[in-house]
Amino acid sequence: MGMTDAFVQEIDQEGKTTRKVLERVPAGRLGWKPHPRSMSLGQLALHIAGTPGQIASWAEKDVMEISGPLPAGREAASTAEVLAAHDASLTKAKDVLRQLGDGGLQNQWQLKAGGATLMAMPKAALFRSVVLNHWIHHRGQLSVYLRLLDVPVPSIYGPSADENPFAART
């Protein structure tokens, strides 16, 4: 199995888990924030939903140039919007991977601002560290938001306090 197929498989697996967490986002609480400097629940959920496809699209070019401050994320209007964005994002990420192929994943990628290089890495590392790790990091944040809102947290990599897929079934 090549890198491309391995990344596609991992995106599918993490996507299923992420969807379970996103499905628990209460539509009536999208404006809630655990702290004034935190993203709202709706902003965080939509950020998580869009991360794989948005960041993967950076790999379509060898250099990503940004200017000015990054805009604050938009707040989702509904849980259905979040789930639709998540599904579209996974499709986009996998399409970019297939377009690049194993050879393209070995090409160098750079993030620049004002001509200065902020990050430089092979595109495979962009997928690992920014697409996947960044996405999973924010999913962890979302699980804390759910806990603070007293929403049952699904099993992610193992049992949560609310769900144990390994428990005996009677």
35-77 pLDDT, tens per residue?
999 999 999 999 999 999 999 999 999 999 988 776 678 999 9
Query: Which residue ranges form the domains of the chain, and what is each CATH number?
Result: 3-67+76-100+108-148 (1.20.120.450)
DSSP 58: H
| Full-model pTM | 0.92
What pLDDT, in 10s, does the model give residues 104-123?
999 999 999 988 999 999 99
CB neighbour list of residue 139: distance below 8 Å, 6 or more residues apart: 17, 18, 21, 48, 156
For residue 138, CA distances in Å to 39, 115, 116, 167 come to 11, 29, 27, 27
Q: Give the position of tokens 């806990």.
A: 147
For residue 59, CA distances in Å to 17, 102, 165 come to 24, 13, 36
